[in-house]
């Protein structure tokens, strides 16, 4: 596959060096780290090293605060369910309207189980109202779960400050840092964040490995009980090869942190400016001044995202969209709707997410291809007339049944 | 990535008849901007003959919406309005060699645009009566609104009921939690509590038909497809009706040919629309006579 891969927020390619470090753990080093013989011993040491590499990436105080899980979703579920189990007298959850389904779907389910869920709204740029947050916090709040960076727009939430406020209210604070870990520096030891989720496949480690950071002293109730793995906090024989891979990927991400926040950010900015300059009626969604260095989410008005992706794919360019059609749902992305982006633009949002492997050449190529694709689809659009939208587009085309 | 057929891809990448039709005398605008699919169909109809001389479209929508629009214009050009109105959404999907279940609504939209454009040509006002809900059953492309309406109007109280009336849940069964949620909600509205183990309702024919009426309808559907099968050198006969299973015998060029499964699927669909219930069509190699003799 020699395409242009600008969909790194969906998943990343495993770095060849990461694959290299993993391979022995499928063959010679196949032992069970719990075993008493030498087949297991080396594996145990490798896992210990990986735990320290992840500790380093997260800026955690102790390596025992790192619990390996099977994915970001498991970490999110474990954190929220643990907080509820550990504080049965507190019956409320605070989260946001723009969380990943890994958090939102669980919260919807918990609501049916009788918990009260407060969904914090966002403004047009995807920002929270801190006064609303303060007003929702109470002695009933069991847990606050707020993502570090949004997967669709890259927009950051002020989680460090929010964790302080939660702590002051006696509530636990969890953050889904699946998109932030490896892309921006984290320093958990200086925060009041109790729990944090990471997913390996977003930082060039394999799929199916994740981390739950659990601050020492935070009361915890495991989701999976069984053996004593992960100090009894997550039973199940360790996915040793993937853990080793994630450790190495964490170390590589640490080494590339400056590059990610200078060079990758520069390429992203160039891509965005190049497209906006050439495509009329397009705009950036989210908060461009406060977001991940690799992410750009652009709304192209009056056309639909899946059609854009299919045409991009024909040119070997991979991106993703917030349109309803790409997910087979009835509504465009809940993140776009929460920001009040109108339907005629929300369906036409395209997320470009770069990585440290993205090149200037690729950026130039995408800038060259996108405007023609957009023009081509607009020629088919009933909202479009010649070189611009029809006068009063919503009146020019008002289909029956909405 | 959707599993689009080559035909869908072809009609998306090279849409036929796209753009404004300047001298259109029938225009239909349908779709839903919240769902992200909407279509304007423009027809040029010859008043003397009611023949569609030209058809063009503009579409705001995904790959399959654009492909369905393009296919529709190809299918109806040259037809009379009466003929064109017989084009069903399944016909559009078949023309494209099938659509993923999540995308069947694109073909429905095509058919509705056609109805709206014809109504517009005739100076009538077309109104849509269907509301679309979130897809629940992926095997049979059944949405939440249809399930909810069916539960409400037929007083259903079990997943099996819902499957019998709508097909939803009759395949892989992954959507049973979703169906149970809808059941619980609707039953609460009518003051009952949903109980997972409760027995399905009497298996009455949803369309309220007697056995004889039901068999007559089945025969009528089969009768209607026979001319086409005969043209291809084949034939079909009704062997037996056993509850929800309809046994047929395919003969001549149809038997065992690659098209058999496809044809049967189409007939099954027509039968279900006619009987308003979930039935299964099963080809047998036994003729009705020998089967009757075996008792
Ligand atoms: C913000 C966020 N949280 C959670 C997840 C889920 O992670 P995983 O796929 O490892 O379960 C993702 C990945 O799609 C994500 O972007």
Tokens of B74: 């190809």
Residues from chain B contacting residue A401 (CB–CB below 8 Å): 30-32, 128, 130-131
| pLDDT for B293 | 43
Domain positions in chain B are: 6-121, 135-189, 211-294
**Per-residue pLDDT at B200 exceeds 60:** yes
**Per-residue pLDDT at A402 exceeds 50:** no
Q: Average pLDDT for residues B212-235, to the nearest whole number?
A: 86
Alpha helices in B30-172 (DSSP H): 63-76, 81-85, 89-95, 104-121, 144-154, 159-166
Domain A16-255, CATH = 3.40.640.10
| pLDDT for B201 | 66
Nearest CA in chain B to A305: B62
Q: Is the CB of A122 under 6 A from ligand 1?
A: no
More confident residue, B281 or A68: A68
Q: Average pLDDT for residues A13-30, to the nearest whole number?
A: 96
- With H, G, I as helix, E, B as strand and everything else as coil, classify residue A352: strand
**Per-residue pLDDT at B289 exceeds 50:** no
Radius of gyration of chain A (CA): 22
| pLDDT for B239 | 86
Q: Supply the residues of B annotated as catalytic.
A: 35, 106
Q: Is the CB of A77 under 6 A from ligand 1?
A: no
**Helix A101-112 to helix A72-86 angle, to the nearest 10 degrees?**
30
Give CATH 3.40.640.10 domain extents, chain A. Answer: 16-255
| pLDDT for B287 | 47
- Structure confidence by residue, pLDDT tens digits, A258-275: 999 999 999 999 999 999
Of B109, B113, B97, the C-alpha closest to B62 is: B109
- Structure confidence by residue, pLDDT tens digits, A287-300: 999 999 999 999 99
Return the best residue to mutate from A102, A155, A195 for the ligand 1 pocket (most ligand atoms within 8 A of CB): A102
Domain A257-391: state its class.
alpha beta
The CATH H-level superfamily of B211-294 is Fe-S cluster assembly (FSCA) (3.30.300.130)
| pLDDT for B259 | 65
- Structure confidence by residue, pLDDT tens digits, B105-154: 888 899 999 999 999 999 998 877 667 788 899 888 889 999 999 999 88
Nearest ligand 1 atom to alpha carbon A10: 14
Lowest mean pLDDT among A101-105, B84-88, B226-230: B226-230
- Structure confidence by residue, pLDDT tens digits, A148-205: 999 999 999 999 999 999 999 999 999 999 999 999 999 999 999 999 999 999 999 9
Domain B6-121, CATH = 3.90.1010.10
Tokens of B289: 């006579």
Domain B135-189, CATH = 1.10.10.1100
CA A152 to ligand 1 centroid distance, Å: 11
| pLDDT for B276 | 79
Give CATH 3.90.1150.10 domain extents, chain A. Answer: 257-391
Q: Average pLDDT for residues A232-238, to the nearest whole number?
A: 97
- pTM as predicted: 0.84
| pLDDT for A276 | 98
Which string of DSSP letters, residue by residue, matches A25-89? GTTTT---TT-SSHHHHHHHHHHHHHHHHHHHHHT-S-GGGEEEES-HHHHHHHHHHHHHHH-TT
| pLDDT for B205 | 60
Average pLDDT, chain A: 95
- Structure confidence by residue, pLDDT tens digits, B58-88: 999 999 999 999 999 999 999 999 999 999 9
| pLDDT for B295 | 36
**d(C-alpha A381, C-alpha A284), whole Å:** 21
Distances (CA, A) of A32 to A231, A233, A271, A288, B156: 15, 18, 47, 47, 53
- Structure confidence by residue, pLDDT tens digits, B4-48: 999 999 999 999 999 999 999 999 999 888 888 899 999 999 999
- Confidence at A37, pLDDT banded by 50, 70, 90: confident
Cβ neighbors of B49 (< 8 A, separation 6 or more) are B80
Closest approach of B247 to chain A, Cα-based (Å): 35
Measured from the Cβ of residue B16, the count of other Cβ atoms closer than 10 Å reads 17
Q: Go through A75-85 and write b for each residue having 16 or more CB atoms within 10 A of its CB, e for each that does not.
A: bbbbbbbbbbe
B34 and A331 within 8 Å at the Cβ level: the answer is yes
**Per-residue pLDDT at B51 exceeds 90:** yes
**Per-residue pLDDT at B288 exceeds 60:** no
- Confidence at B253, pLDDT banded by 50, 70, 90: low
CA-proximal residue: ligand 1, atom 16 (nearest)? A151
- Structure confidence by residue, pLDDT tens digits, A334-376: 999 999 999 999 999 999 999 999 999 999 999 999 999 999 9
- Confidence at B294, pLDDT banded by 50, 70, 90: very low
């Amino acid at each position: 596959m020699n395409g242009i891969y600008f969909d790194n927020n969906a998943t990343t390619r495993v770095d060849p060096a990461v694959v290299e470090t993993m391979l022995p753990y499928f063959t010679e080093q196949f032992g069970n780290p719990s075993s008493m013989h030498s087949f297991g011993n080396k594996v145990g040491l490798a896992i210990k090293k990986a735990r320290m590499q992840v500790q380093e990436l997260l800026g955690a105080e102790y390596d025992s605060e790192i619990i390996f899980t099977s994915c970001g979703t498991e970490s999110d579920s474990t954190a929220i369910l643990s907080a509820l189990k550990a504080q049965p007298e507190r019956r409320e959850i605070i989260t946001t309207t723009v969380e990943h389904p890994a958090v939102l779907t669980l919260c919807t389910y918990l609501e049916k189980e009788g918990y009260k869920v407060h969904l914090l709204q966002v403004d047009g740029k995807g920002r929270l109202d801190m006064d609303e947050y303060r007003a929702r916090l109470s002695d009933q709040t069991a847990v606050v779960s707020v993502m570090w960076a949004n997967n669709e727009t890259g927009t950051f939430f002020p989680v460090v400050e929010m964790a302080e406020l939660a702590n002051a209210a006696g509530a636990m604070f969890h953050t889904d840092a699946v998109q932030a870990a490896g892309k921006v520096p984290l320093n958990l030891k200086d925060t009041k964040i109790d729990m944090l989720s990471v997913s390996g496949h977003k930082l060039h480690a394999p799929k199916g490995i994740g981390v739950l950071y659990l601050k020492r002293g935070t009361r915890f109730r495991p989701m999976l009980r069984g053996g004593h793995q992960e100090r009894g906090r997550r039973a199940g024989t360790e996915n040793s090869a993937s853990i080793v891979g994630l450790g190495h990927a964490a170390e590589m991400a640490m080494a590339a942190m400056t590059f990610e926040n200078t060079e990758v950010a520069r390429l992203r900015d160039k891509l965005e400016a190049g497209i906006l300059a050439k495509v009329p009626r397009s705009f950036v969604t989210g908060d461009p001044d406060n977001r991940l260095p690799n992410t750009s989410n652009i709304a192209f008005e009056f056309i639909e995202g899946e059609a854009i992706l299919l045409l991009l794919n024909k040119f070997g360019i991979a991106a993703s969209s917030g349109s309803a059609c790409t997910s087979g749902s009835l509504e465009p992305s809940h993140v776009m709707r929460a920001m009040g982006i109108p339907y005629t633009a929300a369906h036409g949002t395209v997320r470009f997410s770069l990585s440290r492997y993205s090149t200037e050449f690729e950026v130039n190529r995408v800038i060259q291809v996108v405007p023609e694709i957009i023009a081509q689809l607009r020629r088919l659009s009933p909202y479009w007339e010649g070189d611009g939208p029809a006068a009063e587009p919503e009146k020019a085309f008002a289909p029956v049944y909405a | 990535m959707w599993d689009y057929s080559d035909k869908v891809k072809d009609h998306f990448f090279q849409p036929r008849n796209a753009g404004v039709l300047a001298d259109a005398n029938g225009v239909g605008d349908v779709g839903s901007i919240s769902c992200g699919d909407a279509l304007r169909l423009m027809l040029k109809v010859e008043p003397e003959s009611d023949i569609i001389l030209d058809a063009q479209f503009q579409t705001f929508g995904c790959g399959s919406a654009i492909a369905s629009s393009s296919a529709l214009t190809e299918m109806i050009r040259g037809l009379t309005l009466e003929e064109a109105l017989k084009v069903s959404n399944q016909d559009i999907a078949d023309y494209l060699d099938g659509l993923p279940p999540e995308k069947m609504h694109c073909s429905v939209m095509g058919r509705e645009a056609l109805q709206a454009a014809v109504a517009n040509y005739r100076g009538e006002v077309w109104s849509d009566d269907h509301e679309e809900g979130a897809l629940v059953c992926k095997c049979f492309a059944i949405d939440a609104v249809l399930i909810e309406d069916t539960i409400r109007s037929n007083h259903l109280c079990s997943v099996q009921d819902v499957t019998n009336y709508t097909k939803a849940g009759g395949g892989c069964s992954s959507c049973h939690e979703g169906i149970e949620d809808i059941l619980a909600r609707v039953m609460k509205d009518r003051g009952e509590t949903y109980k997972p183990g409760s027995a399905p309702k009497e298996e009455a024919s949803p369309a309220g038909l007697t056995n004889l009426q039901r068999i007559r309808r089945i025969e009528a559907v089969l009768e209607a497809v026979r001319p086409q099968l005969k043209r291809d050198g084949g034939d079909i006969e009704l062997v037996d009706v056993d509850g929800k299973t309809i046994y047929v015998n395919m003969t001549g060029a149809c038997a065992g040919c690659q098209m058999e499964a496809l044809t049967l699927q189409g007939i099954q669909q027509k039968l279900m629309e006619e009987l308003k219930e979930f039935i299964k069509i099963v080809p047998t190699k036994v003729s009705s006579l020998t089967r009757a003799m075996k008792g």
